[in-house]
Amino acid sequence: MTTNTGRLPILALAIIGKKGQPLYLRNFTAASGGEADLKWHYAAHVSLDVFDERDALPTTL
């Protein structure tokens, strides 16, 4: 029996274009298609929102 101690598995991979359009999305979980893929599509865009919010913050020197 192998264990995954200290390692996080890759559940999905998304490549997003410069304008926020999905170029590639792959789900590596047992559930695939339909709602499962839509969940990962949503997760990719929500993750990008975090970076957009960081860029919008004023910087102080």
Q: Where are the domains of the chain?
A: 17-55
The predicted pLDDT at position 20 comes to 78
Would you say the C-alpha torsion 40, 11, 17, 49 has a positive or negative sign? positive
SS3 39: helix
Give the separation between CA 40 and CA 14, rounded to whole angstroms.
8
Give the residues of the chain that fall short of pLDDT 50.
Answer: 1
pTM for this prediction: 0.62
First to last CA, the chain: 53
In this prediction, residue 2 carries a pLDDT of 57
Sign of CA dihedral 31, 14, 34, 50: positive
What is the reported pLDDT for 45?
Answer: 85
